[in-house]
Each structure stands twice: as C-alpha cells, then as structure tokens.
Amino acid sequence: MNAGAPLLTVEDLRVEFQTRTQLVRAVRGVSFSLGREKLGIVGESGSGKSQTGRAILRLVAPPGRVTAKKLEFDGIDLMATGEAQMRDIRGKRIAMVLQDPKFSLNPVMTVGKQIAEAYRAHASADRAAAKQRALDMLRAVKMREPERVYAAYPHELSGGMGQRAMIAMMLATEPDLLIADEPTSALDVTVQLQVLAILDDLVSQRGMGLIFISHDLNLVASFCDRVLVMYAGRVVESLRASELGQAKHSYTQGLLAALPRIDKPVKELVVLKRDPAWAGERP
Amino acid sequence: MKKLLSPAFAKDSTRLVLSVALTFVGLLLVTFLIGRVVPIDPLLAAVGDRAPAEVYERVRVELGLDKPLWQQFWIYMVKVVQGDFGRSVLTSNVVLDDILRVFPATLELATLATLLGVSLGVPFGVIAAVNQGRWPDQLARVIGLLGYSVPVFWLGLMGLLLFYAKLGWVAGPGRVSVAFDDYVTPITGVILFDSAVQGEWEAFGDAFRHLILPAGVLGYFSLAYISRMTRSFMIEQLRQEYIVTARVKGLSEARVIWRHALGNVMVPLITVIALSYGNLLEGTVLTETVFAWPGLGLYITNSLLSADMNAVLGGTIMVGIVFIGINLLSDVLYRFVDPRAK
C-alpha cells in the first residue's frame, strides 16, 4: 500500500435510525483519518462511538442507515463495495473486538473452532492447519494451556481469557485495522491491564492500525497516539494523547475536571455541566 | 465420552432415575384416583345390573373392592408394574395386548408427522426470521395460521377428497389395503418397519400410501407450531452479539444463520419439538377417526364412551409413560446440544 496515504479516511460519516416516531441521528458528520497508529475514540454512552466503529465495517443493524462523503479503506471505497467484497474485507483486513466475551462468543461452539473458523474464512487452510493457527494465536495471547482453551466452551473461560480468545480470533488473519469496541469495559480492573498489554503488543508487532473505542478518557490517553472526543454523534475535539491537558473544548475539560485525583483529594467531585451548544450542528 | 463416566454424570443420572420413578408413581396415583372417583361402578360393568345382591357382594370381595383404598392402590401399583392392566370389557382382550396393538399405529403416524413437521417447519421458521416482515415471512405466517385455524378433520376430509378420491395419489382410510391385511408378520407393529425388515416392499408401499396423508395432515399442524417457534427463537438469536462477531469475521450469511444462530436455536427448539411429538403420540382422535386409523386416541376414546375403565386407565398410563420417555429423551439431547447444561 501507499506509504503516504492514510489507511482509513472517514469524511462526514452519518448513521441514522428511522424509528416509528422519530429520526435518531446517532452519528452526525464524523471525519477523521487514520494511519498505522492507535486512535482512541472517547465518549459517553450514546455519543455514537460504537456506531462509528460498526459503520466502518458496514455492520450497522437495520433500520440504521449509513451515509458518508467518503469512507475509504486502503484505496477501497467502502460505501460502494458490494456485500460479497465486504465479506472479504471483514475479518481479513478489518476486524473488531467486541465488548463482552460473555455475549460476543458463540456459547455452543468451542473457542478453538471459532478461532479456526475465522482463519479458514479467508485463508485456504485445511482443518489441521487452521487448528495449528488457532493454537499459535492462543499462545500469542498468552494462554497458559492453549490446548485446553482450544477445546473449551466460552462459559468455561473467565472474562479475561474470553477476551484474549476474542483477540486471538480477530488477529488470526493478520488484519490491517483492528477496531476494539470497549474491549476491557466488561473485565475486572486487574485483568484490564493484562488484556490491554497483550492487545498493545500484538498491534505494535504487526504494525496495524487500531481504533480503540472507550468511555475511559485516561485509559485511552495512556494507550493511544491520538484521541477523538465524541459528543452527541459529533467529534468535538481531536488531539494528541500527550496533549490531553491542553484540551480546548469545554466538554473535554469538564470530563477531565470531573475525574478524581489521587494526589489532590477533594470532598466533592465536579459535576459536568452540559452546554446545549455542544450538540449543535457545525456552523 | 469422558463426560459419561464422570461422577457428576452418575449423580445426575441417579437423580434422573429417581425423578422419573417419582413421576411414574404420581401418574399411577392420579389415574387410580380418577378411576375410583368417576361415577361408574366397575362391578355393574362386570356382573351386569340384574345380578342378585349375593353375587354382587361376592364379586366385590373377589375383586378386592372391599379393601381400604390405600391397599387397593398398592395392589393396583404392583399389578401395573407387572404390566397387568386387567381386561377390557369392550374388546374382552387383556388391556396390555390392546395397547401394544394400537400404540404402534399411533407411533408410526406421530413419528412421520413429526419428521415432516421438523424437516419443513425449521427451515420455514429460519427463512421467515431472516426475512422478517418481507414476503417469505408473510407467506410462512399465512401457512402457519392456516395450520392453526383449520380444523383437522376438515383438512383430513378435504385431503381424502382431493388426493384419494379425485387424484388417486394416495390410498384411502385404514393402515393397509384389504389385500395386505395381516400380510406382514408383526414384529414391532410399526408396519413400515416390519415390512422393510422382511423385504416386503409391496406391503411397504401400500402402508406408506395409507400413512402419508394422515401423517401429512398432522405434520402440517406440527409444522405450523414448529415454524412459529423457530421464527421467534431465531429472531432472538440474530440480535445477539455473537452474531455480530460471526459477521465481523467475514463469514457467509448462510454460515452465520445456519451454523451460528441455528446452533443456538436448537437448544430451546428441542423442547418444542419434543412437546409437539408427545402431543401427537398421545393419539389424535379426530385424525384417527377420519382416517379409520386404529391408534391410541381412538382406542381411549371408544373405551371412555363405553365406560371401560380398565382400558381407559391403561391407555392413560401409556400416554404418561410416553410423556416421561419423551422428556427423558429431550433431556439427553439437550446435553448434546448445549455445552452449558450439566
């Protein structure tokens, strides 16, 4: 691929849901571009961050409607791509780690089969080769007993193990871009860091692009190169992770101010005051 | 197979056997009480209403009806466990023999009907769910609604009129044509099976032509129910997150639906199919009447109408045993389909 061109370009992305009574606009004109870097998207529930991720994979559930001036991945216009070609891109070139392994893994299929299946969907590998690949991936996500995990059903794994299996599954095909939709929100705090470290390692090793969707501003800042802050379906601020302190938008400032700090204990945390203007359309 | 030998499984099995035994005793108690509570005097049926008082009294003692109720129940239970349900007044046969004669007819009919209902109903339901709100869904809905709302005897009569009388595609009422009466030596009583085992293909064909219409009518009802349930289970599963995962992996839509979603739908569907099969095995009086099918439903109904309590109780216990068996079977299947079931 062209070294200078970005991996993914998103311009004026909109996701709308026509319900019986009203038109819900979940994403309202989001634009960004991404190289082989780690981009964090932060926002509260309903800010449109997850729908942005799903729109890139063209997996917004009906009746959702996606429009964009430009949605280009490695020179491919994703808006104009047919469903069959889209299936070739999904899993093989763009993959996604979902939030909670309790729900995102098929409960009646062994973990190993699910990983091997992801690999076989795109590589012309026989059963044995796919199994080998799955075991390698389980080792890559630091499973101590890959053989046992391979034969296990999702309910037999802990949350952290489930999420590592999910990462193994999504990286088995060596995609160029990984979208991680709140990959650690459902996990225990102690396990979160471990899973993040594994994810970070693998993404860096393979030189992939990563879109890390989260509601945790500090986590994103420590983990990503760049951060987009979303509010009510729009990007209100985009900044380098290291410059989070210099955030200009009052929403980002408000979020940062609302966080407790271990070095400066306060009696009462600041409550974010919302300004209706934040949600307004761009001039 | 490691699972089958584990102590947990052994403990489970013990619990299962105990609960089955308990259910069976409960079933006997209820049928026994019903048999004693109904305002039918079993003595009058045995001695006739003109018998002198001494005879009446002597038979009462002979039959053990003078003993306390709990003792009667004990005797009854011991006999039932030995397979002794007494003699039918109506057919003057031993009730067990009667049941062993009529049940295979019902078994044959219900099994084929269920096979038809499942093999068509499940795909129908899946296709309807995938095309929710579009024409295939509407079509499946109309077909299902007809199955629910059209009376079975009418459907049976119309089927006979069209496929037997007008088109001549199938054979008429009864299990076999007169020419094939007692033609196949009964082994199990299921004619299709017996004739196939003995290589009597002409008899097999004749029995099949008799069976296919009533089985089709019942299968249609079973299809209506199974496809509706499949549809709603499927819609629920298609909303789950693991379906998104499967799509993210770039799997074909066919694989997402038939492997991932249907694999999970099978879990609740087994119960639905088992219940529907159980209902058909109970005997379907209307269908059996229309098609002159000598099955369990017809037998129990006829016995009831002539106050033949031994036969009624025997039939009732048979239905109970069938239900217990079906439940057991679905329990076992459940373990194979759902790894979460312990």
A84: closest chain B residue by CA? B252
pLDDT of A222 = 85
Average pLDDT over residues B157-180: 88
Chain A nearest CA to B241, separation (Å): 5
Check: complex ipTM more than 0.95: no
Give me the CATH code for the B96-337 domain, please: 1.10.3720.10
Q: Read off the pLDDT band of B282 (50, 70, 90).
A: confident
pLDDT of A2 = 47
How far is residue A120's CA from residue A141's CA, in Å, rounded to a whole number? 19
Quick check: B247 and A90 CB within 8 A?
Answer: yes
Q: Read off the pLDDT band of A1 (50, 70, 90).
A: very low
Q: Does the pLDDT of residue A283 top 50, yes or no?
A: no
Give B46-82 pLDDT, tens digit per residue.
Answer: 677 777 888 888 888 887 778 888 888 888 888 888 8
Quick check: B248 and A91 CB within 8 A?
Answer: yes
Q: What percent of chain B has pLDDT over 70?
A: 96
Average pLDDT over residues B171-180: 84
Q: Does the pLDDT of residue B337 top 50, yes or no?
A: yes
Average pLDDT over residues A163-177: 93
Residue A191 in tokens: 């396990």
Average pLDDT over residues A96-125: 93
Average pLDDT over residues B277-306: 89
pLDDT of B36 = 77
How far is residue A57's CA from residue A87's CA, in Å, rounded to a whole number? 9
- Which residues in B273-308 are b (16+ Cβ under 10 Å) and which e? bbbbbbbbbbbbbbbbbbbebebbbbbbbbbeeebb
Min mean pLDDT across A64-78, A99-113, A120-134, A235-249 is at A235-249
pLDDT of B6 = 64
Judge whether B288 and B103 are in contact, CB under 8 Å: no
A58: closest chain B residue by CA? B248
- Bin A208: left if φ > 0, else alpha if -120 < ψ < 50, else beta: beta
Residue B232 in tokens: 């709603």
Question: Is some CB atom of chain A closer than 8 A to the CB atom of B138?
Answer: no
Give A151-162 pLDDT, tens digit per residue.
Answer: 999 999 999 999
How far is residue A162's CA from residue A177's CA, in Å, rounded to a whole number? 21
Chain B partners of A88 at a C-beta cutoff of 8 Å?
250
pLDDT of B306 = 82
Name the more confident of B111 and A241. B111
Q: Does the pLDDT of residue B162 top 80, yes or no?
A: yes
| Chains A & B: contacts with CB separation below 8 Å | 75
Domain ranges (residues) in chain A = 8-279
Quick check: A90 and B249 CB within 8 A?
Answer: yes
Quick check: A107 and B248 CB within 8 A?
Answer: no
pLDDT of B15 = 84
How far is residue B289's CA from residue A193's CA, in Å, rounded to a whole number? 71
Q: How many CB atoms lie within 10 A of CB B315?
A: 29
Chain A nearest CA to B206, separation (Å): 43
Of A95, A100, A105, the CB nearest to B248: A95
Of B241, B244, B250, the CB nearest to A91: B250
- Say whether domain A8-279 belongs to CATH 3.30.230.80: no
pLDDT of A65 = 92
pLDDT of B181 = 80
pLDDT of B1 = 45
Q: Mutating which of A104, A111, A156 best tests the B interface, going by the most B Cβ atoms within 10 A?
A: A104
Name the more confident of B329 and B45. B329
Residues 6+ apart with CB under 8 A from B176: B183, B191, B203, B206, B207, B210
Q: Mutating which of B242, B255, B257 best tests the A interface, going by the most A Cβ atoms within 10 A?
A: B242
A98: closest chain B residue by CA? B245
How far is residue B196's CA from residue B203's CA, in Å, rounded to a whole number? 9
Give B200-238 pLDDT, tens digit per residue.
Answer: 888 899 999 999 999 999 999 999 999 999 999 999 999
B261: closest chain A residue by CA? A106
Chain A partners of B132 at a C-beta cutoff of 8 Å?
none
Min mean pLDDT across A70-79, B214-223, B330-339 is at B330-339
Q: Read off the pLDDT band of B174 (50, 70, 90).
A: confident
Quick check: A108 and B263 CB within 8 A?
Answer: yes
- For residue B309, the Cα-to-chain-centroid distance in whole angstroms is 22
Q: Read off the pLDDT band of A209 (50, 70, 90).
A: very high
Question: Is some CB atom of chain A closer than 8 A to the CB atom of B78?
Answer: no
pLDDT of B334 = 87
Q: Does the pLDDT of residue B275 top 70, yes or no?
A: yes
Quick check: A155 and B339 CB within 8 A?
Answer: yes
pLDDT of B5 = 57
- Do the strands A76-77 and A70-73 form a parallel or antiparallel pair, or are they unpaired? antiparallel
How far is residue B109's CA from residue B289's CA, in Å, rounded to a whole number? 13
Residues 6+ apart with CB under 8 A from B272: B225, B226, B229
Q: Mutating which of B248, B264, B336 best tests the A interface, going by the most A Cβ atoms within 10 A?
A: B248
Chain A partners of B247 at a C-beta cutoff of 8 Å?
57, 59, 90
Chain B nearest CA to A158, separation (Å): 14
Query: What are the start and end residues of each CATH 1.10.3720.10 domain in chain B?
Result: 96-337
Q: Does the pLDDT of residue A264 top 90, yes or no?
A: no
Continuous segment of H or E residues that includes residue A95: strand A94-97
Q: How many CB atoms lie within 10 A of CB A80?
A: 9
Chain A partners of B240 at a C-beta cutoff of 8 Å?
103
Q: Does the pLDDT of residue B137 top 80, yes or no?
A: yes
Chain A nearest CA to B276, separation (Å): 24
Quick check: B264 and A107 CB within 8 A?
Answer: yes
pLDDT of A4 = 61
Chain A partners of B338 at a C-beta cutoff of 8 Å?
107-108
Average pLDDT over residues A79-91: 91
Judge whether B158 and B189 are in contact, CB under 8 Å: no
Of A106, A155, A166, the CB nearest to B260: A106
Question: Is some CB atom of chain A closer than 8 A to the CB atom of B235?
Answer: no
